[in-house]
């Protein structure tokens, strides 16, 4: 299997490589268009600002390449957010692969504003003092994809983010931090994870393994 990590100026490359190394998996790090197109699977990592990340992709013409990939693609953190249509972070237009919006957490408000029946770790008045960014451990639930095979409901994952993808029909895992939001999304061959798999211990390793075992290409 040929696994390629997309190289650009917002890629969180080394920590992802370290996680893959723990699993005994080798990956190619590349911004070469043909190398990416020829991969069996592609990981699209990212940290930092959406606007500069998107500009970096456009400068290398990787935005067009990513949108036309047919093999399984996994976006992580900012990589996931850029799969979406738009981000509130500096009014950034994303790749538009998954037609949802990325919004910023609000640091204050009604403790029940935006919360569903389940409010997760921020119950009651604690939502009044929501810290942005969300940094640390939280749980994921409503898991519904092969990406979460053998991953238990309410497993802990590690987060560092101020922005989140809105909940939608493309959500395949949910998290709660003041609001319920999409911890993971999917459309066709594209998968996105808001949290850092490489820092999420056994849960993150299990999800990466599941992604590596996905088969086939998407036929449009």
What CATH number does residue 52 fall under?
A: 3.40.50.880
pLDDT of 217 reads 65
Tell me the catalytic residues.
77, 196, 198
Task: Look at residue 39 and tell me if it is in a domain.
Answer: yes
The answer to whether 157 and 203 have CB atoms below 8 angstroms apart is yes
Task: Look at residue 28 and tell me if it is in a domain.
Answer: yes
Task: Look at residue 59 and tell me if it is in a domain.
Answer: yes
pLDDT of 193 reads 98
pLDDT of 219 reads 55
Number of structural domains, the chain?
A: 1
Task: Look at residue 217 and tell me if it is in a domain.
Answer: no
Task: Look at residue 219 and tell me if it is in a domain.
Answer: no
Range of the structural domain that residue 42 is part of:
3-212
Task: Look at residue 192 and tell me if it is in a domain.
Answer: yes
Look at residue 200 and tell me whether its pLDDT is greater than 60. Answer: yes
Task: Look at residue 218 and tell me if it is in a domain.
Answer: no
Give the tens place of pLDDT for each residue, 103-162: 999 876 433 333 333 434 444 344 447 899 999 999 999 999 999 999 999 999 999 999
Pairwise CA distance, residues 92 & 53, whole Å: 10
Pairwise CA distance, residues 219 & 202, whole Å: 32
Entry pTM:
0.89
Task: Look at residue 220 and tell me if it is in a domain.
Answer: no
pLDDT of 152 reads 97
């Amino acid at each position: 299997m040929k696994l390629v990590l997309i190289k650009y100026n917002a890629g969180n490359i080394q920590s992802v490589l370290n996680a893959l190394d723990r699993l005994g998996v080798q990956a190619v790090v590349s911004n070469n268009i043909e190398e990416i197109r020829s991969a069996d699977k592609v990981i699209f990592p990212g940290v930092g600002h959406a606007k500069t990340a998107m500009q970096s992709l456009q400068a290398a013409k990787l935005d067009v390449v990513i949108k036309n990939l047919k093999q399984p693609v996994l976006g992580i953190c900012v990589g996931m957010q850029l799969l979406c249509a738009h981000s509130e972070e500096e009014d950034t237009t994303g790749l538009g692969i998954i037609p949802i919006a990325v919004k910023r957490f609000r640091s204050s408000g009604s403790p029940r504003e935006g919360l569903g029946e389940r409010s997760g770790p921020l119950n009651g008045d604690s939502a009044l003092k929501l810290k942005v960014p969300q940094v640390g451990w939280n749980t994921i639930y409503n898991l519904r994809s092969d990406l979460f095979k053998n991953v238990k409901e309410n497993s802990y994952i590690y987060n560092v983010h101020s922005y989140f993808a809105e909940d939608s029909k493309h959500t395949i895992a949910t998290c709660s931090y003041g609001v319920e939001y999409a911890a993971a999304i999917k459309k066709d061959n594209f998968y996105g994870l808001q949290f850092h798999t490489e820092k999420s211990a056994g849960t993150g390793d299990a999800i990466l393994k599941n992604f590596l075992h996905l088969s086939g290409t998407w036929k449009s």
